[in-house]
Amino acid sequence: MSHVAPVAIQDPDPGVRKAAVEALGALGTPEALPPLERVFPDSSTDLQQAAARAILAVGGEAAVDTLARLAFTGPPDSHRYAVLTLMTMSDPHKDDVLKRVAETHPDEQVRDLVEHGLAYHPD
């Protein structure tokens, strides 16, 4: 993993970074989470989605905690995506984290997302 993490974080080729992110997720170990946490907030949509899938692949309480931090750090747009990703998890620890986000997040839109979810508009 020590060789893959730097590639995921800083390789100039987005495709190579995405492959490295996917490899980290495939490891399925909590040690993969710190580099994924670094990739998530400042990445293109495609790379951010790959990082979210990799975090979900690791799963467990450590992944919940990673997404909780991401809900408060980085660009504001990434906060909502971290919360949405967190909402898809089945780990029971996520409920406490989502409650904390709903109570303390500085962005009203993020708090509203936690409280009410996404609006559904059937065609």
Round to the nearest angstrom and report the end-to-end CA distance of the chain.
45
Query: Domains of the chain, with CATH numbers?
Result: 4-116 (1.25.10.10)
Q: Tell which residue, 34, 27, 18, has the closest CA to residue 58.
A: 27
- pLDDT (tens place) for every residue of the chain, 123 residues total: 679 999 999 999 999 999 999 999 999 999 999 999 999 998 789 999 999 999 999 999 999 999 999 999 989 889 999 999 999 999 999 999 999 999 999 999 999 999 999 877 676
